[in-house]
Structure 1
């Protein structure tokens, strides 16, 4: 796994944190942490988008973030996890893994776009 894909995966960790923070933050310190996670997420996504196709980058990011949020919600906040939900999560992960496997790096710079 290269640096750009790693940035996407780390961004998803911060995404899960800020999504949880939006629901559960109750004091200024928690809101500052939530805002910091949002900024970190989008800095990492911007970095990854420099070398990876943005459509794939965002799809992988949101797919993994969705799964991560569901897992955390189930483990820590009592959300139920039925068979249908598990099958849909597996289907989502299959699509994310497939996109990652077929995506090639490329340099996306302003100079190349305007050339």
Structure 2
């Protein structure tokens, strides 16, 4: 796996924690941890965006974060299971996977202004 995709994956996992932190933080230390997680998550995204297609990168990041947050809310915080919500998240994830597969493995940093691979 490309190191930059690993950064995107880690940023998506971290997003699950900071989104939950935005909802559930109840004191200053939890708020500070949430802000730190946001900073780390976006630092990883910024590093990955230097060599990956930004549209695909953000779709993968958001898909991981969305699915992870929905699952965390159900498993950790006791939100009731909703089949339709799970189906829609699965649909979102299948779209993200398809987008990633369609983006191919060409290095976007080597694409010239005409869109040709250098």
* TM category, shorter: 0.7 to 0.9
Q: How many residues align?
A: 110
Inter-partner Cα distance in structure 2 for 1:57 and 1:31: 27
Gaps of 5+ in 2: 114-118
Instruction: Give the secondary structure class of the aligned counterpart of 1:63.
Output: helix
TM superposition shift of 1:81: 2.1
Deviates more, 1:97-106 or 1:59-68: 97-106
Task: Give the TM-score, by structure 1 length.
Answer: 0.88
Deviates more, 1:6-15 or 1:80-89: 80-89
Task: Give the TM-score, by structure 2 length.
Answer: 0.86
RMSD of Structure 2 on Structure 1 (CA): 1.5
Greater share of residues in helix: 1
Q: Provide the residue aligned with 1:76 in structure 2.
A: 76
Gaps of 5+ in 1: none
Q: Which runs of 4+ in 1 moved over 6 A?
A: none
TM superposition shift of 1:83: 2.0
Instruction: Give the secondary structure class of the aligned counterpart of 1:107.
Output: helix
